[in-house]
Amino acid sequence: MAKNDLFLRALKGETVERPPVWMMRQAGRYLPDFMKLKAKYDFFTRCRTPELASEITVMPIEQVGTDAAILFSDILVIPQAMGIEVQMKPNFGPFVPDPIRTVEMVDAIPANDAKEELAYVYDAIKVTKEMLNDSVPLIGFAGSPWTIMCYAVEGKGSKTFDKAKGFCFEHPEAAKRLLQKITDITIDYLLEKVKAGVDAVQLFDSWGGLLSPEDYKEFSMPYINQITAKLKRHVPVIVFGKGCWYALEEYSTSGASALGVDWTLSPEIARKLTNNSITLQGNFDPARLLSPIPTIQKMAKEMVDRFGKDKYIANLGHGILPNIPVDHAKAFVDAIKNYKV
């Protein structure tokens, strides 16, 4: 058991002296030491080298003081494991040279083994657990099947992912076969992460908010719920759907241990939608970390006051931005750690 078990206690809904705090994308681009490694090794080399991934994972625990670590990796290791080539282009982002655009391409995707294809991730978990020495819990993660499908079909990042949406609407049965293939390998992947030692898992539905509530119920939610149902027997599951406020009520009874909330929804409405029945996580606007430190401290306290200290995990409403000064990130974390009612 982790010496600092606040995060795990909050996931169980237990009464805590203060909320735990961590930040999405905390192991990365705003840290100067991370940028030194980035200059030496390309993105997927960092992901695939257990010692590098572990070093990056532990950085924010030592430098910023968060209550949980999240493994340095990427959601796009899943399509890679499925035989879909994914590149990470500097100053561009993810790029899929041969995106999935036809029914035949969906059906040709092999049923690859997550255990074999992604062994480097499990090795990184084991090395990280040794480095952490039970100081804080370790979070494993995956992208939602819909979010993974967005990249696999679109071929790159997008503000609208209209090609991915269009494929769903033009070929709904093939789209669902693709979503199911992604779901199956994601379940296997996360179960292997649990065996390797992660203490909780988070599902990132980064692009769920691009779907209407009706389309979300058809093309995203059922697949997330499958993953939650399989994983919840083994570890706590956090579901984070960016822009998916309309799904909070249904997710609150899905078996997830916590739900992520982005900064576009007030704490009061998030509590109302979930009937105060589940731990919530969020929802500080990442750009607000550019505010003066006294403002960050004041707003962080107000955020906890509004969510309440129990059944709550303090976090950002999405990933930390690369231009955030480290002392501002630390001020946010410290404000939560110093929280008094």
Q: Could you tell me which residues are annotated as the binding site for substrate?
A: 25-29, 44, 74, 151, 206, 318
Let me know: does 236 contact 216? Beta carbons within 8 Å.
Answer: no
Distance separating alpha carbons of residues 42 and 116, to the nearest angstrom:
22
Let me know: does 14 contact 326? Beta carbons within 8 Å.
Answer: no
Distance separating alpha carbons of residues 295 and 30, to the nearest angstrom:
20
Q: Which residues contact 4 (CB under 8 A, 6 or more apart)?
A: 67, 135, 136, 137
**Phi, psi (rounded to 5 degrees) for 313:** -125, 120
Taken in order 248, 254, 256, 257, is the CA torsion positive or negative? Answer: positive
3-state secondary structure of 201: strand
Q: Binding site residues, as ranges?
A: 25-29, 44, 74, 151, 206, 318
What DSSP letter does each residue of 19-75 carry, written as one string?
Answer: --B--TT-SSTTSHHHHHHHHHS-HHHHHH-HHHHHHHHHHHHHHT--SSEE----T
The tokens of 315 are what? 């976090």
Which run of H or E residues covers position 149?
A: helix 145-154
The tokens of 296 are what? 């960050």
Distance separating alpha carbons of residues 16 and 127, to the nearest angstrom:
30
